[in-house]
């Protein structure tokens, strides 16, 4: 009995020891695996760091590349495409004009009524729809049929007898892909970007293709201006404020009239996630800047980091197959997680569960995810700021006295010209932390003396309304265009 008792006691002690060892082992493993997840974040932070010194190198590289791109065709990754827009709308334009805005996530149709006296837009209507995914890789005919039918529906809703009787309507076409313009109203598509890939349109005149689709629908409409979204935004910015010297779109793609999405500099902090994203894209070695800073890609960079964390640790439980689906984590989801201000990070948990099918993520791991979003967004916003200052440097408005000086030559040396940059795009306008980081980096790079003189002005719907303005200022007087007033 005693033996049994002792035996039992020893047995219990041994079991207790085994249990204790298992618990300690699990804790150590959990700590180790947590540590591995933290290491992934730390490496990301180091790899994405963009201190002001590095940003200044990017600024210089941008200005130099712009110079090289202007000096000779093919002289830089920056295409510096001529727009044939030799004057910007000045406020005396009058009448009703239409615009189409194609070039990213959404497709917009607009009608703009211009008053004819100083910068009065009497009214504008916009209709927006997402571009069906299948059309982005379909044929030119399918794409333009979709556009023309949307346009026709929109025109038919005019409801104004005077307008309906007008034969020909003038259209500004915002087509935000690299185009070699042949006139202010025509141009050849050089290549696709931003996930579009319709091979039979490359090398063709996009205005001609659009006009064909429009006339097939029995609509009498002429492309009076073919522009890129930044040119449209610049036109509207300048219409309202003549100190506007440049325009930037921070949305799906990143372009100024120089197609800066393709900018590249070895000074940019690049990581393995960027290399992999590029290799997996339909356009490898292309659009390097765009892939680090635009709304199309930021969510996917975050997805890749979470996937690595999940593979290297067990903080997310078993690796979710959703983490391997490209672009499943769209940038607005990323922004929603980043901007979640609930104490228990409820939105982060919901998005991880609903989008990535990772349930029951503990709070400290949710915080890790927020940190990942923060690092990726901060790098993007800071690089975008450096890009903008690079443009200002090239045109002598960054106060550095670089290529030409920002200071008014005849005035006192402390007088700095007011400089406005028109800015548009969902990433900047809807993602407040991105916007704050961008503004903060601009101030850091420019310094406190110059920075108050550089104003980033949101120009809502600028790319579309601006195209209508350019259609107005470029419409041929012989055309029986809509004249309401």
Residues that bind ligand ADP (CB under 6 A): 103-106, 249, 251-252, 295-296, 331-332, 335, 425-427, 430-431
Query: Annotated catalytic residue: which of 229, 347, 374, 461?
Result: 229
For Mg ion, give the closer residue by CB, 207 or 463: 463
Q: Is 171 within 8 Å of 154 (Cβ atoms)?
A: no
Cβ atoms within 10 Å, residue 462: 31
Residue 95 interface partner, choices ligand ADP, Mg ion, none, CB cut-off 5-8 Å depending on type? none
Structure tokens at 403: 């290529």
Query: Of residues 76, 119, 140, 176, which has the active-site annotation?
Result: 176
Q: Residue 171 corresponds to which tokens in the numbers above?
A: 């259209």
Smallest separation (angstroms) from ligand ADP to the CB of 231:
14
430 touches, from Mg ion, ligand ADP, none (C-beta below 5 to 8 Å by class) = ligand ADP
Q: How far apart are CA 248 and CA 463, in angstroms?
A: 10
Q: For the chain, how big is the Rg over CA atoms in Å?
A: 27
Q: Which one of ligand ADP, Mg ion, none is in contact with 332 (Cβ closer than 5 to 8 A by kind)? A: ligand ADP
- Residue 54 vs 330, nearer CB to ligand ADP: 330
Q: Are 365 and 37 in contact (CB under 8 A)?
A: yes
From 108, 303, 308, 378, active-site residue: 108
Q: Of these partners, ligand ADP, Mg ion, none, which one is at the site of residue 427 (CB under 5 to 8 Å by kind)? A: ligand ADP
Distance CA 143, CA 131 (A): 9
Active-site residue, 176 included: yes
Strands 254-255, 244-250: pairing kind: antiparallel
DSSP class of 105:
S
Closest separation in Å from C-beta 335 to ligand ADP: 3
Q: In the bound complex, what is the minimum distance in angstroms from residue 250's beta carbon to ligand ADP?
A: 7
Residue 160 known to be catalytic: no
Query: Would you say 269 or 425 has its CB closer to ligand ADP?
Result: 425
CB closer to Mg ion out of 104 and 299: 104
Q: List helix spans (H) across 221-314.
A: 229-240, 272-280, 288-293, 298-312
Catalytic, 321? Answer: no
Cβ proximity of 433 and 427 under 8 Å? no
Of 103 and 172, CB closest to ligand ADP: 103
* CA angle centred on 252, ends 97 and 99, rounded to 5°: 5
- Please state the φ and ψ torsions of residue 373, each to the nearest 5 degrees: -60, -40
Residue 464 interacts, among Mg ion, ligand ADP, none and using kind-specific CB cut-offs from 5 to 8 Å, with none
Chain residues that interact with Mg ion, rule: CB under 5 A: 104, 229, 463
- Token pair in block for residue 384: 């975008």
As measured in angstroms, the least distance from the Cβ of 402 to ligand ADP is 29
Burial of 477 (0-12, 13-18, 19+ CB in 10 A): exposed
Least gap, CB of 174 to Mg ion (angstroms): 7
Residues annotated as part of the active site: 108, 176, 229
């Amino acid at each position: 009995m005693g033996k049994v008792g002792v035996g039992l006691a020893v047995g219990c002690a041994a079991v207790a020891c085994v249990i204790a060892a298992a618990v300690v082992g699990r804790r150590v493993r959990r700590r180790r695996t947590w540590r591995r997840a933290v290491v992934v974040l730390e490496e990301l932070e180091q790899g994405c760091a963009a201190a002001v010194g590095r940003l200044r190198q990017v600024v210089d590289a941008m200005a130099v590349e712009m110079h090289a791109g202007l000096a000779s065709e093919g002289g830089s990754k920056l295409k510096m495409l001529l727009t044939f827009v030799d004057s910007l709308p000045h406020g005396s334009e009058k009448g009703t004009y239409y615009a189409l805005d194609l070039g990213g996530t959404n497709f917009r149709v607009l009608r703009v009524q211009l008053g004819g006296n100083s910068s009065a837009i009497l009214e504008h209507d916009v209709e927006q729809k997402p571009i069906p995914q299948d059309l982005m890789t379909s044929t030119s005919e399918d794409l333009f049929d979709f556009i023309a039918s949307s346009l026709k529906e929109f025109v038919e809703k005019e409801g104004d007898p005077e307008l309906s009787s007008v034969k020909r309507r003038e259209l500004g076409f915002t087509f935000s892909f690299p185009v070699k313009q042949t006139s202010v109203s025509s141009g050849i598509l050089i290549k696709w970007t931003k996930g579009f890939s319709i091979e039979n349109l490359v090398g063709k005149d996009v205005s001609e293709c659009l006009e064909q689709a429009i006339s097939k629908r029995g609509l009498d409409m002429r492309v009076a201006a073919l522009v890129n979204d930044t040119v449209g935004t610049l036109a509207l910015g300048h219409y309202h404020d003549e100190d506007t010297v440049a325009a930037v779109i921070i949305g799906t793609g990143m372009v100024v009239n120089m197609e800066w999405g393709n900018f590249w500099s070895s000074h940019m902090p690049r990581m393995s996630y960027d290399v992999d994203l590029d290799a997996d894209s339909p356009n490898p070695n292309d659009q390097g800047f765009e892939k680090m800073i635009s709304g199309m890609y930021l969510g996917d960079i975050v997805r890749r980091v979470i996937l690595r964390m999940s593979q290297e640790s067990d903080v997310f439980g078993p690796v979710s197959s959703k983490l391997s689906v490209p672009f499943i984590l769209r940038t607005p989801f990323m922004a929603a997680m980043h901007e979640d201000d609930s104490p228990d990070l409820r939105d982060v948990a919901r998005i991880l569960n609903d989008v990535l099918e990772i349930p029951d993520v503990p709070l400290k791991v949710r915080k890790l995810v927020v940190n990942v979003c923060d690092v990726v967004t901060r790098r993007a916003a800071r690089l975008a700021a450096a890009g903008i200052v690079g443009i200002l440097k090239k045109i002598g408005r960054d106060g550095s006295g670089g290529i030409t000086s920002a200071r008014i030559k005849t005035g006192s040396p402390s007088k700095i010209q007011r400089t406005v940059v028109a800015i548009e795009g969902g990433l900047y306008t809807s993602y407040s932390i991105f916007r704050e980081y961008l503004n903060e980096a601009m101030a850091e790079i420019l310094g406190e003396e110059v920075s108050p003189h550089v104003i980033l002005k949101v120009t809502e719907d600028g790319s579309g309304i601006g195209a209508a303005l350019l259609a107005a200022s470029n419409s041929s007087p012989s055309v029986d265009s809509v004249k309401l007033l």
